[in-house]
Copies of this chain bind each other. A is one copy, B any other.
Amino acid sequence: MNALFERVQTSLLRQGMMQHLGVRLEEVAPGRCVLTLPYSDKTTQQQGGFHGGAIGALADIAGGYAGLTVLPKGMEIVTVEYKINFISACQGGELRATGVVLKAGKRIVTATAEVHHIAADGQARLCALMQQTLMPVTQTYEESP
């Protein structure tokens, strides 16, 4: 496990909500982060599909963690705002969100995230697209040694 992956993983494991939903970290590279969320009754809306709230939350942290990878040690990132378009409804399988840094400014980091639905048979389909503004802040908790 490389250092960048570990840095993101450490933060993700502290997110009660994401642990609860069952979000997994898949890939981390400079300016890029991939996360998955398996379908369960913790992720559904009234018609049994993935909830927009789950899709939005996954996109938000995929973009945010992509942003974290470009910051110096000791910094964290917070979401200033995001905007998400829902492209298709989906059920079962899992969601896969890929966050990418578009511009890493000193004061503002701009990122995007695509969320694909991966069906049980492996078929991928675009589910949502997000555009996001992030802001670097000083980290306020200690990482475990």
Contact = CB atoms under 8 A, between A and B. Distances in A.
For the complex, would chain A's binding face be called helix, strand, loop or mixed by DSSP majority?
mixed
Interface of A: 11-12, 14-18, 20, 40-47, 51-54, 56-58, 60-61, 76, 78-89, 102-103, 107-108, 110, 112, 126, 129, 131, 133, 135, 140-141
Given A14-B45, A81-B133, 8 more contacts: A14-B47, A15-B51, A47-B141, A56-B60, A80-B86, A81-B131, A87-B103, A102-B129
18 contacts: A12-B46, A14-B45, A15-B45, A15-B51, A17-B42, A17-B43, A17-B44, A46-B76, A47-B140, A53-B53, A82-B83, A82-B84, A85-B133, A87-B103, A87-B110, A107-B107, A129-B131, A131-B131
